[in-house]
């Protein structure tokens, strides 16, 4: 982050004056807006437009409601989400088949598993999007071809890499704290969902095959949370770690504790 040398506001992408060489925010980028002292011989001030009160890329959040997110969703984003969700469901099925013989699968187990997998993925991505838009940024999900291919390969391999795409966030004044909070929103939803499934396992343990669906969904959410918390760019974990190391450490501890609970309940 860089501070504007006129007003002191921190900006992620500063504007450099071609005359004095100093760095400024959007509002003070023009020489006449920062009283540039190097333009007397080479620059004739012009009537500058009124500086906007907010970044041009910010969305109108004055009356933000949960339903408004669908008004900020493009057809392209829906297509990318559909492809990513299809691959994600394949990952879930591979985990389900590894834990229960295919012939023992029934409609109840399949229904719970499919609904849970859809929620695991969509809530994660929508959390990123809602938090970003609530802060006033443009945010849409986009596929990553390398990540999509790695996710597809994970269907047949024991180690699961779940990275079919990510929510892209754009804005002129994105702070480090804002980036960290947006990134943390996704893994947090998976940790919360895993807690719900662990609680359900306590009630349904050893009762019927439904427990297998809950176990798979808890495991899937924890895998998604842990993978996203890897502190290496461009993973969410890198942004969370830069924002708050205590939040990152607490999240990792929560994931490990939930996995130990799963092992205790099932084995």
pLDDT, residue 102, reads 59
Tell the residue number behind the tokens 């996710």, with chain if given: 151
DSSP 61: -
* Residue 214: pLDDT over 80: yes
Domain range for 187: 66-266
> What would the 3-class secondary structure string for 8-38 be?
CCEECCCEECCCCCCEECCCCCCHHHCCCCC
Give the model confidence (pLDDT) of 151-174 as tens digits.
888 778 777 777 788 888 877 677
What phi and psi, each to the nearest 5 degrees, are found at residue 18?
A: -75, -10
- Note whether 82 and 210 are same-domain residues: yes
- Note whether 180 and 90 are same-domain residues: yes
Give the model confidence (pLDDT) of 6-19 as tens digits.
888 877 667 788 77
Pairing, β 138-143 against β 165-170: antiparallel
Rounded to an integer, what distance in angstroms lies between the CA atom of residue 146 and that of residue 175? 28
Rounded to an integer, what distance in angstroms lies between the CA atom of residue 127 and that of residue 125? 5
- Note whether 13 and 145 are same-domain residues: no
- Note whether 119 and 34 are same-domain residues: no
Counting beta carbons within 10 angstroms of the beta carbon of residue 214, is it exposed (0 to 12), middle (13 to 18) or buried (19 or more)?
Answer: buried
Tell the residue number behind the tokens 């020489």, with chain if given: 31
User: pLDDT confidence of 59, banded at 50, 70, 90?
Assistant: very low
- Note whether 72 and 43 are same-domain residues: no
pLDDT, residue 87, reads 87
pLDDT, residue 203, reads 78
Q: For the chain, give the percent of residues with pLDDT over 90.
A: 21
Is 4 within a domain? yes
- Note whether 146 and 223 are same-domain residues: yes
- Total domain count, the chain: 2
Is 168 within a domain? yes
- Note whether 237 and 128 are same-domain residues: yes
Residue ranges in 100-209 assigned as alpha helix (H): 107-134, 145-154, 176-204
User: pLDDT confidence of 184, banded at 50, 70, 90?
Assistant: very high
Positive or negative: CA dihedral 25, 30, 33, 35: positive
**Mean pLDDT across the stretch 37-61?**
46
Averaged pLDDT of the chain: 79
- Note whether 14 and 81 are same-domain residues: no
- Kindly report the CATH number assigned to the domain that includes residue 46: 4.10.1110.10
Neighbours of 62 (CB within 10 A): 5
* Residue 66: pLDDT over 70: no
Which tokens hold the place of 200? 């359900």
- Note whether 178 and 207 are same-domain residues: yes
Pairing, β 23-24 against β 2-3: unpaired
Is 155 within a domain? yes
Which tokens hold the place of 208? 């019927």
**Mean pLDDT across the stretch 64-69?**
51
Give the model confidence (pLDDT) of 100-154 as tens digits.
665 566 777 788 888 888 899 899 999 999 998 888 888 889 988 888 888 888 7
- Note whether 99 and 200 are same-domain residues: yes
Nearest to 33 by CA among 22, 125, 163: 22
Nearest to 246 by CA among 189, 180, 192: 180
pLDDT, residue 225, reads 92
**Mean pLDDT across the stretch 30-55?**
56
Is 58 within a domain? no
């Amino acid at each position: 982050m860089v501070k504007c040398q006129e007003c002191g506001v921190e900006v992620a992408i500063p504007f450099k004056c071609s005359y004095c060489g100093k760095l400024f925010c959007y509002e003070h980028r023009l020489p006449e807006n920062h009283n540039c002292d190097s333009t007397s011989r080479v620059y004739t001030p012009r009537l500058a437009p009124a500086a906007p009160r907010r970044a041009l890329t910010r969305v109108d959040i004055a009356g933000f409601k949960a339903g408004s997110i669908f008004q900020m969703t493009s057809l392209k984003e829906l297509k990318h989400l559909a492809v990513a969700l299809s691959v994600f469901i394949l990952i879930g099925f591979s985990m389900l088949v590894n834990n229960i013989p295919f012939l023992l699968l029934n409609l109840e187990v399949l229904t719970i598993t499919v609904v849970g997998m859809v929620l695991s993925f969509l809530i994660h991505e929508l959390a990123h999007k809602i938090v970003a838009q609530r802060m006033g940024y443009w945010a849409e999900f986009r596929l990553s071809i390398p990540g999509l291919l790695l996710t597809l390969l994970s269907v047949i391999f024991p180690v699961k890499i779940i990275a079919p795409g990510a929510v892209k966030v754009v804005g002129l004044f994105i702070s480090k704290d804002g980036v960290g909070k947006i990134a943390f929103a996704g893994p947090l939803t998976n940790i919360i969902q895993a807690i719900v499934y662990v609680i359900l396992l306590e009630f349904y343990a050893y009762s019927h095959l439904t427990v297998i669906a809950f176990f798979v969904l808890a495991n899937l959410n924890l895998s998604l949370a842990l993978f996203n918390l890897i502190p290496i760019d461009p993973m969410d974990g890198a942004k969370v770690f830069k924002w708050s190391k205590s939040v990152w450490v607490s999240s990792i501890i929560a994931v490990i504790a939930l996995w130990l609970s799963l092992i205790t309940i099932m084995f």
